[in-house]
Amino acid sequence: MKNRNYEYDVALSFAGENRAYVEKVANSLQQKGINVFYDLFEEANLWGKNLYEYLSEIYQNKAKYTVLFVSSFYNKKLWTNHERVSMQARAFQESREYILPARFDDTEIPGILKTIGYINLENKTPEELAVLIEDKLKTNQTSIKNRWSKLSTIIHPKPFIFTLKVMDEQKQLIKHAKVVLIASNSTYLESYTDEDGLAHFVIRTRKLYTVLIAHSIYPAVIFRNVNPKEDIVVTIEKSENFGSMIINKSGHIPGISGKIQPVLQPDKKLSLYADNIAIEGGMNQPYDFELNKSISLEDNEGNVIHLTFRFFQGRIALLDFYKHKSL
């Protein structure tokens, strides 16, 4: 049953806590002559490999289908989330089902809608699930061939995963940092770092990006001309009372009431509007400003913050802010 276009008919993605069930599925599939990727079948092959890159290639490019075993344990695992992001990159590329959810429970998995058809494993034996997988492979074999024959005349670059890891000078992982990749044409991708300090992006165009990183208690970071083919690790040094943020068109600054809106004027000057906020003691608006030059803001409660815009392109602005206590 092996498809000549894929190394595996199906790959299995699961949390270790569910291994006992999944292993029975894998054994049953193997007995049916189905070429299945199951980690324990590949121990010798995996030995010594860069697993981050290798598993990404498996779940993104080398299997006809992936069965994702949904459970409360799945979301908590670093490796399963890496596998999921790789699967979704493939799913974005194709116009057919690729991820086949099989649910142990009702846990919500990012990117996997509850409206997507799934198999409920509550009363399903591993052998019964293996039969369903076999039927899926048989039923769709002809339609998949026809669809791919049409798509083969169109060349699209394969999407891939770019991952950025953020930590502080003490090697503590930084979660909830906002990360934006912005191209020269001002199109952008955005994400947030997770519990492991990782921000993942599905890259579909071959471009160099400017990388912007912001966090409410860390200063702003900029990297220019970044090739997303290589994952990067960023270390941010914490500064007391400093924070940073990325805004799209307008935004609220933590610790101060009101809202700001930076704009690029027709004469290429940068100007700032502020709602219920005094700029530089009450200067007229719009107030012209320069990158990397501090601006003071004060709200109606006497809270004062100094802003420094580090980057502005399109509608994306990266800025540092220094907090002052109320008088």
Q: Which residues are annotated as catalytic?
A: 229
- Distance (Å, whole) CA 253 – CA 245: 8
List of residues 6+ apart from 133 with CB closer than 8 A? 10, 25, 29, 34, 65, 67, 100
Give the CA distances from residue 187 to residues 157, 220, 230, in Å, rounded to whole numbers and listed in that order. Answer: 18, 20, 20
- Distance (Å, whole) CA 222 – CA 236: 11
Of 272, 280, 325, residue with least CA distance to 301: 325
Phi and psi, residue 52, nearest 5°: -60, -50
What DSSP state is assigned to residue 112? B
- Distance (Å, whole) CA 72 – CA 78: 14
Q: Annotate 141-177 with three-state secondary structure.
A: HHHHHHHHHHHCCCCCCCCEEEEEEEEECCCCECCCC
- Distance (Å, whole) CA 69 – CA 278: 54
**CA neighbours within 13 Å on the CB side: how many for 82?**
18
